[in-house]
Amino acid sequence: MHVGGLGLYEAPDGMSGSDFLRELHQDMSAQQDFQPTFRKHPATLFGGIANVGWTFDDEVDLDYHLRRSGLPAPGRVRDLLELTSRLHGTLLDRHRPLWEAHLVEGLSDGRFAVYVKFHHALIDGVSALKLTQRTLSADPNDTEVRVPWNLPPKRRETPPDEPSLLHNLTRTAGSIAALAPSTLSLARSALLEQQLTLPFGAPRTMFNVPIGGARRVAAQSWSLERFKNVKQAAGVTINDVVLAMCAGALRQYLLDQNALPDEPLIAMVPVSLRSEADADSGGNMTGVLLCNLATDTADPAKRLDAINTSMRNNKKVMSQLPKVQALALSAMLMSPLALTVLPGFVSSTRPPFNIVISNVPGTREPLYWKGARLDGNYPLSIALDGQAMNITLANNADNLDFGLVGCRRSIPHLQRMLGHLEDSLKELERAVGV
């Protein structure tokens, strides 16, 4: 249950990756002040580790949490991903604060890598990505070394006209009071008009099995411009293009394994619930939808159209609900994940969905760390019982950076998904004429 991230950096001009990394490690090791989040680990109860509360370390052993590694020759990216797979498949020590950072040198092209992981109970993936971005700078001449563990919490500005707690409670009560008519509308859309994709309609696949503890990871970047070109030619959204690219890759991967079901795969997709009127407001307005990936369709253009229709219909249903109920509906769509802890649940029921595909907001400009340019920023999420593969991506300047995580026992040859993703994007480009 830990989330991670793999960053690829290019050292400043005139420095090798190894020399730069040695200096960076020294600068990081000198920073021994830790925010409370980075001092927390599970408390002990009656002599054993319990999951009912936290305790805080007064002294953190930074030499344990901050580690430096070297790749074997020839230092291929494939070697880096194999190391990252092993690191992502090992448990965090519950007797220590639940985070690690690994500096990795030895890439043949002179770059270096940073792999970090946090337990999800400590910090979620989006927050971890934002925290990492706060250590970086848009200025390549900024030589200050910032580290996640001593960054102060961001000060939250309270608008002078922020509603009171009583007002919020009253507004929430009003939304709940309106539940009945909205629920009837939702039921009509879901059951009669069949606009809403509901859980447990997905086929059983090789992804929806109990998993082991070892992991495989794969990562690659694609130019954002390619996605924009397909979006404009087809009249869809960039996220539709991402989903269609993933759908084509999943279809070919399953065909290679003689495991493609006759029914289309269903993906759980986090989406923004923010309307145009809310565009400049703060707060969290994120929900989830289930999307028909149309993997039963061989034609990439028809697959893209089916995905666009599925997402548009689901968003339409969600947009007709008050925000409180939209978030409650999202919670309902995700709730089957909690049932996977029940013995026999994964093996005896249809999966609620087949895979999670998440597009995480990143940065739109190049970022630097002590002058080293961030070339790739690959989010690595969680595989679960019944969800043996996860695809997460983040935008990084002019690229979309994909991070794939799979159960090592259940998902063979995960690396081949990268080739399938490239082939799928090329098929979409040909299909729409770009």
Round to whole Å and give the CA distance between 332 and 224. 33
- Residue 238 contacts residue 227 (beta carbons within 8 Å): yes
SS3 call for 160? coil
Instruction: Locate 156 and state its tokens.
Output: 């939250």
Which residue type does 96 have? Answer: R
Round to whole Å and give the CA distance between 109 and 18. 11
Round to whole Å and give the CA distance between 200 and 354. 10
**Closest to 87 in 3D by CA, of 5, 27, 13, 203:** 5
For residue 364, the Cα-to-chain-centroid distance in whole angstroms is 17
| CA 391-395-396 angle, 5° bins | 125
- Residue 120 contacts residue 382 (beta carbons within 8 Å): yes
Q: Which residues are catalytic?
A: 120
- Residue 264 contacts residue 293 (beta carbons within 8 Å): yes
Round to whole Å and give the CA distance between 137 and 157. 22
